[in-house]
Amino acid sequence: MIKKLFKKIKEYDTIIIHRHLRPDLDALGSQRGLALAIKDKYPKKQVFIVGDMSVRYAFLGKMDEIDDSTYQNALVIITDVAVANMVSDERYKLAKEVFVIDHHKNSCDITENVIVDTSRIAVCELIADLLWQNKFVISSSAATALYGGIVTDSGRFQYGETTGRTLKIAGALLDLGADKNFIYKNLYTESLSERTIKNWFSSRIKTTKNGVAYLKNDKTVFEKFDLDFFNVSRGMVSLMAGITEIPIWCNFTYDVLNDKVVGEFRSRDISIVDIAKSFGGGGHDCACGATLKDFQEADKVIAEFDKLLAK
Ligand SMILES: [Mn+2]
């Protein structure tokens, strides 16, 4: 499949790269890094990146605006997601051929053309490797984008699937000129008002008897603060990390666009993904999520996690 993908990349004049909705830095970095590497190798090709943007990671750069007609004879590559309803910009369906490159455990319902390696901490790690295997040159800008994805998806080289290979690839990207200071500056700096808002959320953390911490962010949160969904759903989950008494924590956020409640689940070292799956979600062993009907269903998730800790 890898061979087939790179043959197609060589063949097509127009290549459009998609990734998941509400992108994190692995989604954005893999998309941009791959696009830059293809453009550098084939300057005559038209390579576009599309999708919604999150304010949090806007520092990496803008998306391209393209017409539907651009898809007519195009190859689409989707990164960091293998599930159709999570792909940002459903116009990928207009493309002539579609490939998926992912590292999640979900089975793919988009295309038969799937390259998935669940042993990779970040799809950026996988893509850097694929590019080198196929004799692509990774420029310093592409290296910065890919490095950003590895750093964030690995929790700063901390989470489970972080391996020697992860660090070797990240190291090679640094040697190619990845601007780690640019990435870290943007990851670790926030405004005074952002910090104040976080303190407000921290003060609302609740815990269960056996050590599940949770936040329930209903629509009043968005009336009170000028925050987008991603800032709350992904941005506030880590407020509950690093507390000795809390092995599992979850963040439930009302999604006004779909009238659902999105749950983000995290654990220090206990596998919790099966519970996420039982609520129709998925992800990684210790970092996963699910889209829920309402906050009553959120209570059921909390009860399941609490039961897991009671064992
Ligand atoms: Mn990822």
Here the CATH number for the domain that contains residue 179 is: 3.90.1640.10
CA of 140 to the centre of ligand 1 (A): 21
Q: How many domains does the chain have?
A: 2
Q: Consecutive sets of 10 residues in the chain, 311 residues long: mean pLDDT of each?
A: 97 98 95 98 98 91 97 97 95 97 92 96 98 98 98 91 95 98 94 93 98 97 92 94 97 96 96 96 91 98 98 82
Tell me, what's the pLDDT at 281?
A: 94
Measure the CA–CA gap between 310 and 247, rounded to whole angstroms. Answer: 12
Q: Are residues 92 and 212 in the same domain?
A: no
Beta-bridge partners for 11: none
Measure the CA–CA gap between 202 and 193, rounded to whole angstroms. Answer: 14
CA of 210 to the centre of ligand 1 (A): 30
Q: Are residues 15 and 64 in the same domain?
A: yes
Chosen domain end from 156, 172, 187? 187
Q: Are residues 80 and 125 in the same domain?
A: yes
CA of 153 to the centre of ligand 1 (A): 6
Q: Are residues 200 and 299 in the same domain?
A: yes
Q: Are residues 162 and 199 in the same domain?
A: no
CA of 81 to the centre of ligand 1 (A): 8
Tell me, what's the pLDDT at 55?
A: 80
CATH number of residue 296's parent domain: 3.10.310.30
Chosen domain end from 159, 187, 215? 187
Tell me, what's the pLDDT at 30?
A: 98
Q: Which two tokens stand for residue 226?
A: 């000028």
Q: Are residues 34 and 176 in the same domain?
A: yes
CA of 284 to the centre of ligand 1 (A): 10
Tell me, what's the pLDDT at 216?
A: 98
Q: Which two tokens stand for residue 285?
A: 């062993």
Look up the pTM and report it: 0.81
Residue type at position 280? G
**What does the pLDDT look like over 92-112, one tens digit per residue?**
999 999 999 999 988 899 999
Query: Which helix or strand (DSSP H or E) is residue 57 part of?
Result: none
Tell me, what's the pLDDT at 67?
A: 97
Tell me, what's the pLDDT at 246?
A: 98
Q: Are residues 258 and 209 in the same domain?
A: yes
**What does the pLDDT look like over 165-221, one tens digit per residue?**
999 999 999 999 999 999 999 999 888 998 999 999 999 999 999 999 999 999 999
CA of 209 to the centre of ligand 1 (A): 32
Tell me, what's the pLDDT at 160?
A: 76
Whole domain around residue 293: which residue ranges?
Answer: 193-310
Q: Are residues 197 and 181 in the same domain?
A: no
Q: Are residues 163 and 223 in the same domain?
A: no
Contact 102, 121 (CB under 8 A): no
Q: Are residues 208 and 87 in the same domain?
A: no
Contact 116, 151 (CB under 8 A): no
Q: Are residues 175 and 215 in the same domain?
A: no
Tell me, what's the pLDDT at 161?
A: 80
Q: Which two tokens stand for residue 106?
A: 């979900």
Chosen domain end from 169, 187, 205? 187
Q: Are residues 152 and 241 in the same domain?
A: no
Backbone angles phi, psi at 209, to 5 degrees: -55, -40
Can you tell me whether residue 278 is helix, strand or coil? helix
CA of 26 to the centre of ligand 1 (A): 5
Query: Which helix or strand (DSSP H or E) is residue 105 part of?
Result: none
CA of 311 to the centre of ligand 1 (A): 31
Measure the CA–CA gap between 116 and 123, rounded to whole angstroms. Answer: 9
Contact 272, 258 (CB under 8 A): no
Tell me, what's the pLDDT at 159?
A: 84
